[in-house]
């Protein structure tokens, strides 16, 4: 099989790749992202730049630049063909988990968290909701000074905590443990009941998902703007219909198109809801969600 390179370059963005690898860069203007180079792991905070409009990257100190395929070639040390194939399998192909891939070991501990915190209040998360999701402000360890959010599997085993910074201009905004593969899981999947006739909202982030759930609707979060074969398996496992509703920015809308085409290809029942520019699911009211979830698909 030889993947369609033109199609891949047209539909898969650098932003999607960065999110897949868990790489966080800071914004620089409307179309650029800047940070330390994730390819040679340098210390210069301005060495690596992504042009979102042209869908290109460049490392000014060591690695050079290029397209999404060049990025994967350099990061994974692959040929052009195998890099394109890797991207295709990640974003297009519905496959089972590779035999040599290790599953995540459930955690045997729980973090001691503060369920009532000013940041949570600002995000309209009451202590009751925080306790339900077992998320809160952490005062120690890797997640110190962050809102720690547990990620669980479908059997409610805690696999990892993600830490969300409560301050502006702190990188990364979302801190995942080293080696954790977020692309293999769906946030809040443990609370999705099998076979219900009501649709499940598919959103990007934790707080979008929590907001929708708190208003009485089922929701899961991709923890990004890509979807993997493992996540597709989880979607199929519930036997539910879905509403795909990502953020209304350019990245979200591009991801809607790509993910939508994948869901169609694997015969998952869903409808796409495109939000207005700069609007996010977290901003929607209960009435908005009821209108969207109406059984018209």
Region of 88 on the Ramachandran plot (φ > 0 left; ψ -120 to 50 alpha; else beta): alpha
pTM: 0.68
Beta bridge partners of 28: 32
Asked if residue 275 lies in contact with residue 245, where contact means CB atoms within 8 angstroms, the answer is yes
Tens of pLDDT, residue by residue, the chain (297 residues): 556 777 888 889 999 899 888 899 999 988 999 999 999 988 899 999 999 999 999 999 889 999 999 999 999 898 887 888 889 888 875 443 333 344 567 776 789 999 999 999 999 999 999 999 999 999 998 899 999 999 998 888 999 999 999 998 888 999 999 889 898 899 999 999 888 899 999 999 999 999 999 999 999 999 999 998 889 888 988 889 999 999 999 999 999 999 999 999 888 999 999 999 889 999 999 999 999 998 766
User: Strand, coil or helix: what is 162?
Assistant: strand
């Amino acid at each position: 099989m030889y993947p369609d390179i033109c199609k891949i370059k047209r539909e898969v963005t650098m932003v999607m790749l960065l999110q897949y690898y868990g790489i966080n860069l800071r914004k620089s203007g409307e179309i650029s992202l800047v940070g330390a180079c994730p390819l040679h792991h340098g210390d210069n905070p301005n060495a690596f730049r992504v042009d979102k409009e042209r869908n290109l990257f460049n490392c000014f100190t060591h690695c050079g630049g290029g397209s999404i395929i060049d990025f994967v070639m350099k990061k994974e040390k692959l040929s052009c063909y195998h890099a394109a194939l890797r991207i295709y399998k990640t974003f297009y192909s519905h496959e089972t988990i590779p035999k040599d891939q290790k599953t995540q070991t459930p955690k045997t501990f729980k973090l001691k968290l503060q369920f009532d915190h000013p940041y949570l209040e600002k995000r309209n998360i009451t202590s009751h909701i925080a306790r339900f999701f077992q998320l809160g402000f952490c005062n120690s360890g890797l997640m110190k000074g962050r809102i720690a959010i547990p990620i669980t599997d479908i059997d409610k085993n805690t696999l990892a905590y993600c830490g969300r910074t409560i301050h502006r201009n702190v990188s990364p905004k979302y801190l995942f443990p080293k080696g954790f593969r977020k692309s293999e899981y769906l946030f809040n999947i443990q609370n999705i009941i099998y076979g219900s006739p009501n649709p499940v909202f598919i959103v990007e982030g934790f707080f979008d998902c929590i907001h929708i759930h708190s208003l009485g609707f089922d929701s899961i979060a991709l923890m990004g703007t890509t979807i993997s074969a493992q996540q597709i398996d989880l979607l199929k496992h519930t036997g539910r219909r879905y509403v795909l509703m990502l953020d209304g920015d350019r990245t979200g809308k591009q991801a809607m198109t790509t993910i939508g085409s994948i869901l169609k290809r694997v015969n998952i029942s869903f409808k796409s809801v495109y939000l207005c520019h700069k609007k996010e699911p977290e901003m929607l009211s209960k009435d908005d969600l009821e209108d969207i979830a109406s059984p018209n698909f």
